[in-house]
Structure 1
Amino acid sequence: MLTGAYVARSSVLHRLPAGVKLLTLAVACVALLAVREPWSVGVASAGTVVLYALGGIRWVEAWAQIRPLRWFVLVILVVQVLVTDWTTAVSLTSRLVVAVALAGLVTLTTRTADLMAAMERGLSPLRRLGVDPARVSLVMSLAIRSVPVVAGIAQQVRDAQRARGQERNVKAFAVPLVVGVLRYADTLGEALQARGMDD
């Protein structure tokens, strides 16, 4: 299993506390919901590019964060064009890509252990309501780690498709992808069960 997307650098973003980055990410995603005008989306996109530069993230590392979304975004764009207009469609899909890119930036500049610790601290007041912050942070950590794993499985399936000359066969892509993801889920479940966390 991959250990997360963290890349070691000595940038300003790497030195920021994980809690600050998570809070900023939450605020930024909420702010993106209010963005409608194309120029505002452009400003948000440019700001994201600047943040990646401040974090010392290479283009290939940045592209890896949004690359798995390309087909999903294309489908959303087409659907939105059919039900609304070009401006709304481009605005919606651009905001989605920016939000994913910002989340990717957090994982690229923050160790998973630091993210988990920050989430546990942030959720600690919910202990009184019966919430276990450690378990919630574990689930979030597994979700973060699973994204590159699933993307890797999809890429392997796509490569196998090309090798067999079946690039346009949806079934040849969907079935192996689902099987691969289910196998990964089974492996993950067995690992959690071995650690007594299967409940």
Structure 2
Amino acid sequence: MVMNEKLLLGRSIETGSWVHRLDARAKLTGMIVYVAIILLSRSWLALALLAVFSLTVMASTRIPLKYFIKAAKPLRYLMLFIFIVQMLSVKEGAVWFSAGSFSLHEEGLRLGAFSVIRMVFLITFTALLTFTTTPGKLNQGLEGILSPFRRLGLSPDRITLMISIALRFIPTILDEAQIIMKAQASRGADLQELSLKEKAKMLVSLLVPVISSAFRRAQDLVYSMEARGFRMDARRSRYHRPKWGGADTAFIAMFVVLGIAIVIL
């Protein structure tokens, strides 16, 4: 299994598991239900049940757990910020620590821990969607789910095209930024040896060439699509058509049963 260790967003990891073979529409629907389940989880017992379910499904994909953990790693500072805000803003329950006007309450610590755990579940488990689904199948699934909204004037084709281009542009833009950083390092601007303030200035200086390169690539893509006669709302045929099976229904039923159990708890 060869992949970029630092970039996991939008990367599929093929292992041939039963989750990989599911219809993308089933996985998208399951993730939507999963988000609702996270919001309904309001007790430690519910979170424990959610953890058992999530780890079981992730293990069944045969994808190493470290990749799911790496998917949440970029947001670790946001999680820490949310925990601190909850801990300091909620003044309910027993006082655990007090120093003058500063105090830590039991409810603040509980809500902070709940918020962080929920975010970890949300990021790590929903990463399963991109790990087990290629961008092409993911776009087909999203288009299938959004197709009933055509009557309301919504264009699923436009939405899926934007998502597919965005997913493909992310690694390209990051590679471009890495090339620029290596070019600056070859001129003596080593990012690891700079102070925090100088690092911030250096990263700001990256924005102009990276954004300029992104616009140039986007313009080249538009010219390429126009040269090939691409039209946005034209009728299209598909070589691979998604097929809904019993495993897809069972996959969604698992989430529904989990949601009912969480509500009861």
Q: Which residue of 1 aligns with 2:112?
A: 89
**Max radius of gyration: which structure?**
2
User: Are 2:11 and 1:5 equivalent residues in the alignment?
Assistant: yes
- Counterpart residue type for residue 166 of structure 1: S
Contact 1:166 1:172 in 2 (8 A): no
Which has the larger helix fraction? 1
User: Are 2:81 and 1:75 equivalent residues in the alignment?
Assistant: yes
Question: Take 1:152 and 1:41, find their aligned partners in 2: how far apart are those partners?
Answer: 38
User: Are 2:54 and 1:25 equivalent residues in the alignment?
Assistant: no
Structure 1 residue 136: deviation in Å? 0.8
Deviating above 6 A after TM superposition, structure 1's stretches of 4 or more consecutive aligned residues are: 147-157
Structure 1 residue 5: deviation in Å? 1.1
Q: Which residue of 2 aligns with 1:100?
A: 123
Deviates further, 128-137 or 39-48 = 39-48
Q: Which residue of 2 aligns with 1:175?
A: 204
- Counterpart residue type for residue 182 of structure 1: I
Q: In structure 2, which of residues 206, 213, 219 is the aligned counterpart of residue 190 of structure 1? A: 219
Q: In structure 1, which of residues 34, 42, 59 is the aligned counterpart of residue 65 of structure 2? A: 59
Question: Take 2:38 and 2:77, find their aligned partners in 1: how far apart are those partners?
Answer: 21
Structure 1 residue 166: deviation in Å? 2.4
Structure 1 residue 186: deviation in Å? 2.1
User: Are 2:139 and 1:116 equivalent residues in the alignment?
Assistant: yes
Question: Take 1:132 and 1:10, find their aligned partners in 2: how far apart are those partners?
Answer: 33
Structure 1 residue 153: deviation in Å? 8.3
* Structure 2 CA distance for partners of 1:168 and 1:36, relative to 1, 3 Å: farther
Q: Which residue of 1 aligns with 2:98?
A: none
Which SS does the other structure have where 1:15 is aligned?
Answer: coil
Contact 1:120 1:133 in 2 (8 A): yes
- The C-alpha deviation readout for 1:75-103, integer Å capped at 9, x for no partner, is 12111211120110111121112111122
TM-score (norm 2): 0.62
Structure 1 residue 8: deviation in Å? 0.9
* Structure 2 CA distance for partners of 1:164 and 1:21, relative to 1, 3 Å: same
Structure 1 residue 17: deviation in Å? 0.9
* Structure 2 CA distance for partners of 1:150 and 1:80, relative to 1, 3 Å: farther
Structure 1 residue 137: deviation in Å? 1.2
What RMSD over aligned residues (CA atoms) do the two structures have, in Å? Answer: 3.3
Question: Take 2:208 and 2:16, find their aligned partners in 1: how far apart are those partners?
Answer: 40
- Counterpart residue type for residue 162 of structure 2: V
Which SS does the other structure have where 2:38 is aligned?
Answer: helix
* Structure 2 CA distance for partners of 1:46 and 1:179, relative to 1, 3 Å: farther
- Counterpart residue type for residue 190 of structure 1: Q
* Structure 2 CA distance for partners of 1:91 and 1:18, relative to 1, 3 Å: same
Contact 1:52 1:105 in 2 (8 A): yes
* Structure 2 CA distance for partners of 1:193 and 1:155, relative to 1, 3 Å: closer
- The C-alpha deviation readout for 1:109-156, integer Å capped at 9, x for no partner, is 011100101111121222222222111112233455566677878999
Q: Percent identity?
A: 27
**Long gaps (5+) in structure 1:** none
Question: Take 2:160 and 2:214, find their aligned partners in 1: how far apart are those partners?
Answer: 18
Q: Which residue of 1 aligns with 2:163?
A: 140
